[in-house]
């Protein structure tokens, strides 16, 4: 029976989710693709572009991040860029087929003064007919409201991993800090973009628990980015073992089943994925990607490579509609 949005399950137990994850692979993908087709258009994906508007010198110590001031990654630091540069990049993104333009700033949390500038950026991007998303770190209640007043559509704030594994990745902010920001975003009536990173040394159980945390929120995130770790030299995770491709696909399928109405984005790490792995990810229910050569500061497949793959698979870019979820 097809679920309606007011009857989505938000009380998943670990054992329930584990049972789904441990289904035979073909059965798992069949169920995920069936749920996907009940709630989304077949063979369409949402295209986004992500721009770094303030780069490096972040005081947080996230073990995966080249922008942390705690790691020596030889990253070129950059202050908050101009509104004109943002508008130019957004125009190019729209011409390339993106329907959402995302702005990322390497802050623990924005100052009110910097937030004013970001709000002007949001207004410029919105005026082009693009959806907007920003990721700026932790937000206070009044800051979330200010972003909403500026016309922001989505706020990205990932939980990264399970609560149990979290302290092995980050020590400068707590899991509760992240959940509090998500609550402030929801109270401001903004849409939530929240996911995590796979391949940081966490267990399968940690990945399942991370997805349960998201699926058991009062309202599911409209967008769930799942990133494969990009091992950046100079970060504590640069020598981490590669993530098994089948485990990646199974995690994507579980996300689709637990959160049937959420867009599941195959985010960072695609440059190291084969075409076959990406094809399986789309079969498992992923229906959003970032396009463009760079994701904040990391490498991403170029437009030509993505177009070639999507043409092979018969997948096309989704057009923006007024009532689109994510």
Query: Mind telling me the catalytic residues?
Result: 58, 62, 65, 102, 133, 193, 265
Q: Count the Cβ atoms, other than its own, within 10 Å of residue 190.
A: 22
Among 182, 150, 255, which Cα is nearest to 212's? 255
CA distance 172 to 225: 22
CA distance 63 to 70: 9
Among 158, 161, 157, which Cα is nearest to 169's? 161
b/e 28-53 (16+ beta carbons within 10 angstroms → b)? bbebbbebbeebbeeeebbbbbbbbb
Among 225, 221, 209, 151, which Cα is nearest to 182's? 221
Cα of 104 vs its chain's centroid, Å: 12
Widest distance between CA atoms in the chain: 53
| Contact (Cβ atoms closer than 8 angstroms) between residue 89 and residue 128 | no
């Amino acid at each position: 029976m097809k679920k309606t949005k007011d009857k989505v399950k938000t009380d998943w137990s670990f054992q329930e989710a584990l049972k789904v994850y441990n289904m035979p692979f073909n059965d798992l993908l069949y169920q995920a693709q069936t749920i996907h087709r009940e709630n989304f258009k077949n063979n369409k994906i949402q295209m986004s572009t992500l721009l770094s508007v303030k780069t490096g010198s972040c005081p947080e110590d996230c073990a995966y991040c080249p922008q942390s001031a705690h790691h020596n990654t030889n990253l070129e630091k950059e202050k908050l860029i101009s509104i004109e540069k943002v508008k130019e990049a957004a125009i190019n993104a729209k011409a390339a087929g993106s329907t959402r333009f995302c702005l990322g700033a390497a802050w623990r949390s924005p100052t009110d003064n910097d937030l004013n500038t970001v709000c002007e950026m949001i207004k410029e991007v919105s005026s082009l007919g693009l959806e907007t998303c920003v990721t700026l770190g932790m937000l206070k209640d009044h800051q979330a409201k200010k972003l909403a007043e500026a016309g922001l559509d989505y706020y990205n704030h990932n939980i990264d991993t399970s609560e149990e594994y979290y302290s092995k990745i980050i020590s400068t902010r707590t899991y509760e800090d992240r959940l509090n920001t998500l609550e402030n975003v929801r109270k401001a009536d903004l849409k939530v973009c929240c996911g995590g990173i796979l391949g940081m040394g966490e267990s399968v159980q940690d990945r399942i628990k991370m997805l349960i945390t998201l699926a058991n929120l009062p309202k599911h995130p409209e967008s769930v980015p799942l990133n494969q770790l990009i091992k950046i030299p100079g970060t504590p995770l640069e020598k981490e073992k590669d993530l098994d491709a089948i485990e990646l696909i199974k995690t994507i399928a579980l996300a689709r089943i637990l959160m049937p109405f959420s867009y599941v984005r195959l985010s960072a790490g695609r440059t190291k994925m084969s075409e076959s792995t990406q094809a399986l990810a789309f079969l498992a229910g992923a229906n959003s990607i970032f396009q463009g050569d760079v994701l904040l500061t990391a490498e991403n497949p170029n437009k030509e490579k993505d177009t070639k793959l999507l043409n092979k698979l018969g997948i096309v870019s989704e057009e923006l509609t007024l009532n689109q979820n994510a």
